[in-house]
């Protein structure tokens, strides 16, 4: 048999014996015999094969065991929803339940017989009647396909009319099932940098969610290679006011890969589940990825929050407020709250969020190469990183938090600590780092300047240790010890030589009492010290380039020059005398002395 045009067929046409038919799919032509079709149907013998134009025609075809059917399409021949079916019958009533894709029960049937789609490793939404035209509500077809898919099976976003699917209601990706687009990195017509807008309608592999609808991911499921957008939203957007809903709600052991989520209040919500893996999830929502109560580690990599919805906006932006509305977002890009102990986030970045990364009540989480950048002229309250509560042993390696009002805000319980190893902090509109509780240990970090202090310690019990760091372009203060903490350690390995006019400032302490020794060890904070005792002094430690201190003597003493102390002459002090010195990093030099009565 040859040259049969399926659209011109009656309800069905049969071939039998060893006749061959030619099947063409996407330009590839193959020949197949009826016996080969039988093998596809689980090895059932077949004396004939029927051809029907669509699923409606299959549904009115009488089920005959041993007869196989090739369906041209779901609605029409060639729309991608057809396939191979075989007949089963003789079961108890209700055995076969119509699912509109892989099980087709004949019209008026009692479920004792059905046409079954030949099993495959993957399915498409078209095979369940989803159109993918961007306007038809495909919710029922999407859910039917995800329910019918077996464990480890992939359901592809290919409809009978396209690959842009509108779902008015929430749907669930079933256990072990993967919902996958056709590859959002391989489309035509997108912006090569942002991969979005200004018009999203032509994009392939898109889920458009109705108001309040969410993609719910059951355990061990996955969502890959697609866009998620609110139905009816047009782009570009001038602001994020009014964005509502949550795009994806993830369960245990869920994988989210290569996604772009735009226009919601929350991009991804992970609540009291474990071992969620997010890779290359790009989002522009008021809030990005929220992880709460993860019993076992959740891992994020290469995820990014960026004002994608504003790309292509051409109207004038003339004020800072308009700029913030256009590209600023009101929530938190990455939030980790309670547990997720020993989780990891690597190379995750946010731009323009009120809070870039927020860590609350976690232990041992690791951040590698992460960062947050603020909008130009950031409004008060923009913060790159907040670490708070009972969090402890949080480690940041080669991270960058810049151009915020405050780049890092640490508010921890006593004895809880944060570690920074490498990376960049700075360009802040206020303090670069604020510590109101807990401690910070920073090694090899570049503090690149700001309009206030590099570090503001406002708690008496807070700790701050800096080793081999570089501090540059701070004109107000390097460290504002406003809480008068005695636990400040600025090691001599730090470089504080560039743009520092006031290296250390203590907001409350007026003076410190020291006892005379041959070498007097100066506290890191303070610039006025009272010295008691009669031991001759020949050296001081605790200096750095530009540090200037004044000593007030409470009685008779002798201060003499040495290799590291250069005086005009030996100073024999009496009560109330003063001596002011300045350090070049190694040697102390006399500035002035005063003999008082």
Share of the chain above pLDDT 70, in %: 85
Q: Residue 318 CB: number of other CB atoms within 10 A?
A: 8
Residue 23 scores a pLDDT above 60 = no
Residue 235 scores a pLDDT above 90 = no
Answer for the pair 35, 46: CB distance below 8 angstroms, yes or no. Answer: yes
The first and second tokens of residue 204, run together, are: 């392939």
Residue 21 scores a pLDDT above 70 = no
- pLDDT grade for 42, boundaries at 50, 70 and 90: very low
Q: What is the pLDDT of residues 143-154, one digit of tens each?
A: 999 999 988 899
Cβ neighbourhood burial of 414 (10 Å; 0-12, 13-18, 19+):
exposed
80: left (phi over 0), alpha (psi -120 to 50) or beta: left
Class of the CATH-defined domain 130-325: mainly beta
Residue 572 scores a pLDDT above 50 = yes
> What is the rounded end-to-end Cα distance, in angstroms, of the chain?
123
Q: What is the pLDDT of residues 245-285, one digit of tens each?
A: 999 999 999 999 999 999 999 999 999 888 999 999 999 99
Answer for the pair 378, 327: CB distance below 8 angstroms, yes or no. Answer: no
Residue 197 scores a pLDDT above 80 = no
User: Which of 81-85, 254-258, 315-319, 522-526 has the lowest average pLDDT?
Assistant: 522-526
Residue 337 pairs with which residues in a beta bridge?
292, 360
Residue entry with tokens 């094969």: 49
The first and second tokens of residue 423, run together, are: 């990376």
Residue 290 pairs with which residues in a beta bridge?
269, 335
Q: Which of 277, 289, 279, 262 is nearest to 194 (CA)?
A: 262
Cis ω before 592 (30° cut-off from 0): no
DSSP string, 338-373: EE-TT-EEES-EEESEEEEEEEES-BS-EEES-EEE
The whole-model pTM stands at 0.80
- pLDDT grade for 6, boundaries at 50, 70 and 90: very low
152, HSE (Cβ side, Cα atoms, 13 Å):
2
Rounded to an integer, what distance in angstroms lies between the CA atom of residue 289 and that of residue 246? 10
- pLDDT grade for 26, boundaries at 50, 70 and 90: very low
What is the DSSP code (8-state) at residue 39?
H
Per the document, the length of the chain is: 597
Q: Which of 468, 523, 463, 455 is nearest to 496 (CA)?
A: 468
Q: What is the pLDDT of residues 459-499, one digit of tens each?
A: 988 999 999 999 888 876 788 887 878 788 877 788 876 65
């Amino acid at each position: 048999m040859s040259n049969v045009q399926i659209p011109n067929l009656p309800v069905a046409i049969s071939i039998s014996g060893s006749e061959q038919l030619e099947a063409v799919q996407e330009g590839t032509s193959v020949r197949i015999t009826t016996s080969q079709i039988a093998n596809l149907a689980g090895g059932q013998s077949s004396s004939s094969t029927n051809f029907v134009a669509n699923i409606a025609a299959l549904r009115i075809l009488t089920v005959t065991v041993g007869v196989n059917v090739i369906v041209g399409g779901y609605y029409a021949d060639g729309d991608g929803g057809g396939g191979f079916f075989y007949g089963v019958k003789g079961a108890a009533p209700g055995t076969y339940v119509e699912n509109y894709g892989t099980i087709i029960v004949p019209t008026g049937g009692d479920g004792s017989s059905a046409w079954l789609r030949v099993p495959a490793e993957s399915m498409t939404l078209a095979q369940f009647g989803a159109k993918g035209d961007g306007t038809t509500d495909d919710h029922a077809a999407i859910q039917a396909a995800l329910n019918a898919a077996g464990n480890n099976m992939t359901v592809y976003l290919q409809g009978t009319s396209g690959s842009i699917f509108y779902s008015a209601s929430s749907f669930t990706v079933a256990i072990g099932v993967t919902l996958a687009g056709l590859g959002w990195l391989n489309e035509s017509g997108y912006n090569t940098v942002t991969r979005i807008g200004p018009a999203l309608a032509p994009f392939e592999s898109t889920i458009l969610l109705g108001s309040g609808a969410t993609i719910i991911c059951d355990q061990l499921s996955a969502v890959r290679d697609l866009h998620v957008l609110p139905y009816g939203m047009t782009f570009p957007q001038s602001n994020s006011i009014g964005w509502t809903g949550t795009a994806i709600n993830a369960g245990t052991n869920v994988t989210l890969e290569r996604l772009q989520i735009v226009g919601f209040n929350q991009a991804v919500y992970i609540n009291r589940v474990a071992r969620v893996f997010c890779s290359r999830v790009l989002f522009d929502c008021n809030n990005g990825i929220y992880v709460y109560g993860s019993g076992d580690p959740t891992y994020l990599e290469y995820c990014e929050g960026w004002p994608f919805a504003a790309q292509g906006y051409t109207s004038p932006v003339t004020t800072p407020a308009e700029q913030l509305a256009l590209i600023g977002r009101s929530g938190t890009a990455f939030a980790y709250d309670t547990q997720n102990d020993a989780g990891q986030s690597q190379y995750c970045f946010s731009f323009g969020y009120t809070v870039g990364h927020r860590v609350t009540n976690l232990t041992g989480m690791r951040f590698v190469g992460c960062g947050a950048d603020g909008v130009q002229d950031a409004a008060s309250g923009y913060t790159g990183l907040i670490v708070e509560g009972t969090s402890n042993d949080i480690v940041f390696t080669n991270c960058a938090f810049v151009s915020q009002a405050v780049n890092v805000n640490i508010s921890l319980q006593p004895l809880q600590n944060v570690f920074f190893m490498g990376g960049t902090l700075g360009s802040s509109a206020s303090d670069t780092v604020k510590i109101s509780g807990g401690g910070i240990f920073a090694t090899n970090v570049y503090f690149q300047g700001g309009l206030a202090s590099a570090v503001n310690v406002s708690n008496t019990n807070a700790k701050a240790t800096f080793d081999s760091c570089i501090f540059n372009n701070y004109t107000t203060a390097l460290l504002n010890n406003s809480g008068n903490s005695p636990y400040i350690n600025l090691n001599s390995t730090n470089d504080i030589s560039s743009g520092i006019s006031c290296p250390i400032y203590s907001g409350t302490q007026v003076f410190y009492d020291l006892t005379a020794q041959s070498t007097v060890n100066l506290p890191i904070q303070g610039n006025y010290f009272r010295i008691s005792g009669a031991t001759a002094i020949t050296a001081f430690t605790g200096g750095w380039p530009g540090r200037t201190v004044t000593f007030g003597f409470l009685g008779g003493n002798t201060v003499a020059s040495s290799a590291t102390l250069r005086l005009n002459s030996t100073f024999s002090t009496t009560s109330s005398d003063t001596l002011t010195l300045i350090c070049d990093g190694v040697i102390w030099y006399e500035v002035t002395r005063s003999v008082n009565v």
